[in-house]
Amino acid sequence: MMAKLIVYKLAFIFILSLVGCGNMFTKNKTKFHWLATESAPRHYPMRIISGTFYYHNEKGGLYVPTAASIGYYWGTGESTHVVGEDFKPLPDRLDIRFFSFTENKLYQGSFDLPYEKILSLFKDGVARDKDRPTFNTIMVGVAPGGVVSVWLTGRETREVFFGQAKPYEDDLFDITQRKINDRDDYVRRNIIEMIGIEKLTDIEKNGVPFGLWEKYRTPYKWATVLRTEKKLSNDTKYSFFNGESYRLDYPFSEEVLKAPRPLPLLIGFGCYIEGTSKQYFFVVRFDEKELYAAFDKLGGTEELVNIEIEPFLPKNLTKVRLYNSKGSIELKHYKSEL
């Protein structure tokens, strides 16, 4: 399983390097170089049965890659194929069918996508840098409960759609198109191979966390506070629980402070450490349960919360706390990485 993921990721990076060069749109500025990929959350493996991004106002489109199983990280593409014309219209519809292993359930959905928003983001991405545009891939994510998300991705990842597919009944076939007669046995064997017996036992005991991926999209008011001797750059890198990732200037502007956003999965920043002349790049990865619980104690979605990070060497000495007028909470379960 890990070897397959590594092959997919290396192929994905290589392909993106190919499509990231040169003029990325045609003269009418409605066709772009873009590929399709798929995503599923860690520990909740899924399989794309079939999927198509339909081109704007056309009957045809670009298919979504299929694999025996997916489930690396929510918002991270797993496979892609170089197919179709070099320049393609952007999609305005999505048809998708998928299988949720942890539920032993099939889902299907047909969705209208926000074409004007997608077009605007692609154009803005080219305007920033025509040789290395911001977006070159459209990714569909599927999760338990029929969750369907669509992101534009490349140098950043931005969510453009979130919807709900419906269950349906049908025969299930393996990746070689052989009918699966004993589905329960097939599902259990594959889940154990993909996530291990320990995680499966946990899911059987506590259930699938339906609603989790909707929760990840909840906007909160927060700001980053970096307690460092000297900053390396004025931007910080963020990945969010809802699968998005992008950079923000530090410190936050008033405009950014007034725009709530999902909670961060990780924050990356460059700095100098006091007493050294070397530049370091730190990444702080948060524990989901601890972070959400702390925000709830400090006012939930209604109160501005400061996320203060004080980097130290060795990295396990780095300190992180959340604070506002309601109190201060020092986090304990985050990971600090160099």
User: Tens digits of per-residue pLDDT, 53-71?
Assistant: 999 999 999 999 998 889 9
Split at pLDDT 50, 70, 90, the class of 9 is very low
pLDDT computed for residue 123 by the predictor: 95
pLDDT (tens digit, 9 = 90+) per residue, 303-314? 999 999 999 888
- Whether pTM exceeds 0.85: yes
For 81, the token pair is 């194929």
As a whole number, the mean pLDDT across the chain is: 90
Cα separation, 12 vs 199, in Å, equals 28
Question: Letter for the amino acid at 168?
Answer: Y
pLDDT tens by residue, 102-129: 999 999 999 999 999 999 999 999 999 8
pLDDT for 8 equals: 42
**CB atoms inside a 10 Å sphere around CB 69:** 20
Q: Are 81 and 62 in contact (CB under 8 A)?
A: no
The number of residues making up the chain comes to 338
Using pLDDT thresholds of 50, 70 and 90, give the confidence band for residue 279. Answer: confident
Share of the chain above pLDDT 70, in %: 90
Tell me which range, 11-15, 127-131, 160-164, is most confidently predicted by mean pLDDT. 160-164
- pLDDT beyond 60 at 16: no
Nearest to 114 by CA among 135, 134, 93, 97: 93
- In 3D space, the residue among 278, 288, 294, 282 whose CA is nearest the CA of residue 250 turns out to be 282
Per-residue pLDDT, averaged over 174-189, amounts to 92
Residues 250/231, Cβ–Cβ less than 8 Å: yes
- Asked if pLDDT for residue 21 goes beyond 50, the answer is no
For residue 20, pLDDT over 50 is answered with no
Rounded alpha-carbon distances, angstroms, from residue 111 to 45, 55, 84, 173, 320: 22, 13, 22, 24, 41
